[in-house]
Chains A and B, each alone.
Chain A
Amino acid sequence: MSGGLRVLAPGLHTTLQDFGRFGAQALGMPVSGALDRDLLRLANALVGNAPDEAALEVLHVGPVLEVTAPALRLALAAYGGAILLDDAEDRRVPAWRSVTLPRGARLRVLAGRDTAAGYLAIGGGFAVPPLAGSRSTYVRGGLGGWQGRALAEGDEIPARQVSAPAGAERRLPAPPVLERGKLRVVLGPQDDHFTEAAIATLCAAEFVVTPEADRMGLRLDGPVLEHRRGHDIVSDGTAAGALQVPGSGRPVLLLADRQTTGGYPKIAVVCTADLPRAGQLRPGDRVSFAAIEVAAAQAARREHEAALAALIGGIVPIEARPDIATLRRIDLISGVVEADQANSSNG
C-alpha cells in the first residue's frame, strides 16, 4: 500500500522542512529548515513523531490537499490556523490537535492569522529520502525536500505510514499564544562598525518588515543605522537571526535560508529563544529590538526550551464521547468529532 497527500492547489509557498541541514556550512551550504522550529516540534508531537521529523511548512496561504493513503493522521500547528474539510458538512478542524482522515478526504490548510508560517505534520512522516542528513528544502539551490522545490499542483507526497494509526487523537489543551514583544538581540560581532547613535536607534526605534521578505531574510524599513567604518567587511560567517546592515543603513534580518557567509557588518543577532517569533514576521509587521548580554540570552533559551517541553508534555488524548451524533460521524472521519468543542476552547 502506498499513498500520501496529493496537491490540488499548492498554496503560496509550501515546502518540506525539518530542523535543517547541518554539517556542510563550511562548504557554503545553507542550513534551511523550519522558520518556526517550535511549531514544527508541536505539530510533530501531536501526531507522535520525533521532534525533528520533516513536515510541510505552509507560508501565508496554505495548500489544498487530498489524502491518497488509506488513512493519514495529521496535525496543524499554526497561530489561528485550521484545516477545512471539503465535505458535506464543511467541517473545520482547528490547529493544535490531530485528526485522522480517510482516503479521498480533501482539506484546505489555513496557515494562520497575522503570522507567516504554519506546520502540517503527518503521523510517521513523509517518505522522502533525506539529503545530507536532512529533508529540508533549499529552494534557491534546488536541493532537498520534495524535488528541491515548493509543492506544485499534481504532486503526490508519499507518507511512510499509510494505515490508520493506533491510539487516540491528541490535542494541546492550552495552545501557545504568539508574543509580540521586542526581539531580544546580542550586540555584535560588528557593533563596533556602527555609531553609538546607531546602536541606540536599533534598541529604541520601530522597524517595519518590507515586502522584500522570504525564507532567506527580511529587509526592514525604519531609521537608518549609520556605519562608523564603512559598510563592507571582509566576509565572515553568518547565523540565523543576524541583523546585517548594508550600505543603505537598513538592516536585513537573516532567516533559515541565509547564506553561510556575508560581507556586510552585523550589528546584532536575534537570540535563539526569539528566533521562532522572528520567523513569523510578515511584510508590514512592526518589529523592535532590545539588547541583552549573551549570558542572559542563553538563560532565555533555557527558559524557552523548558516552556516548550512543558507545552508538549501537556498534550492530552482526546477521549471519545459515546453520544449518538459522535458515533454516526466517527466511522467516517475519526477524530474530527470534537473539533467544534476544541475550537471553542481556543477562544
Chain B
Amino acid sequence: MSDGTLAAARYLPLGDAALAVEFGDSIDPATNARVIALAEALRRAPVAGVTETVPTFRSLLVHYDPLRRSHDEMVGALRERVAGLRVAVGQGRRVTIPACYEGALAPDLAEVAALTGMTADEVVQVHAATEYQVYMLGFLPGFPYMGVLPERLRLPRLSTPRVRVPPRSLAIATAMTAIYPLESPGGWWLIGTVPVELFDITADPPALLRAGDRVRFRAVDRPTFDALRSAWLAGEGRLDVTEAPA
C-alpha cells in the first residue's frame, strides 16, 4: 500500500442499507482527511447504488440502496476507491468567521478563564489564534465539530447541560470548538457569538461550513458585531472564504 503508515480501512455494516468505511478510531487530521477524500472521490465519480454519504471524524458512512447493490458488492466498489485515494491534509477552504467574545454574548467566558487559569483576554487570544479543521457536521443541522482546541482551553462538558443555548453561540468542550446553528439544549461552554447564520435549509448549499474547511475566528467588539449582524440580516453579509486549490 502506498499509505503503509496508515491503518487499513475497515468496512462495517450499519444494517443492510448503510456501511461505514472506518479509517481509525481517533480524532486526528490525517484520519479525517482520508474520510473527506473518500467523500469527495464518491461525489466526483459516484458508485452505483450509493444514495448519500456522511463524513464523520474517523469514518465515512455510506448509505446505499440494498435493492440495487449487496453489502459485498458495495464493499468491493468502495475498496477500489479507497485503494486509489489521494489524500491531502489541510487542503480545504479557508474561512474566517467574526466572533464577539464579550459580555452577554459570552456567558461562560469568565468561568472558562477561571478554570483554565487564564484571563478572559488570554482565552480569546488563544481561541482566535488557532486554525481549526471542520471534522464533520452533526448533532444539529449545520453544527460543525472543529478541532483541535489548544490543550490550555480543554474542559470537560458542563456537568448539567443548558436547556437552551442561544443560536449562533460559539462554544468549546474537550478538544473541540463549535457553533450552535439553532437554539437547542447543549453541554458546551459558551465563549462567544457569531453574527452569521450557519444553516438555512432554503439556501444552496444549506450549511455555511462543510467537512474539510479550515476555520479561523476574528474577534470583533460589540458595535462591530451588531453592524455585521445587521448586514447579514439585510442579506449583505459576506464571509471571508478562500477556495481550496483545485
Contacts and interface: CB of A to CB of B under 8 A. Distances in A.
Interface of A: 22-30, 131-132, 141-144, 185-186, 188-189, 233-239, 241-242, 259-262, 266, 269-273, 294-295, 297-298, 300-302, 305
B206 interface: yes
Interface residues of B, number: 49
B30 interface: no
B130 interface: no
A22 B52 contact: yes
A188 B12 contact: yes
Interface of B: 12-20, 22, 25-27, 39, 51-61, 63, 66-67, 70-72, 136-143, 145, 182, 199, 201-202, 205-207, 210-211
Contacts, number: 152
Nearest to B138: A261
B142 A237 contact: no
23 contacts: A24-B206, A27-B137, A27-B205, A28-B139, A28-B141, A28-B143, A28-B199, A29-B142, A132-B202, A141-B140, A141-B141, A188-B12, A189-B12, A235-B56, A239-B15, A239-B63, A259-B138, A261-B139, A271-B15, A272-B17, A272-B66, A298-B71, A302-B67
Contacts of B138: 28, 235, 259-262
B201 A261 contact: no
A236 B71 contact: no
A264 to B, nearest CB: 13
The 8 closest A-B pairs by CB, nearest first: A237-B61, A261-B138, A269-B15, A189-B12, A297-B16, A27-B207, A28-B137, A237-B54
Most buried by B among A143, A185, A236, A298: A236
A242 B14 contact: yes
A25 B16 contact: no
Most buried by A among B139, B145, B205, B210: B139
Contacts of B59: 236-237
Contacts of B14: 188-189, 237-239, 242, 266, 269
Given A25-B54, A189-B13, A260-B138, 14 more contacts: A29-B206, A132-B202, A186-B13, A188-B12, A189-B12, A237-B54, A261-B139, A269-B16, A272-B66, A273-B16, A294-B15, A294-B71, A295-B70, A298-B16
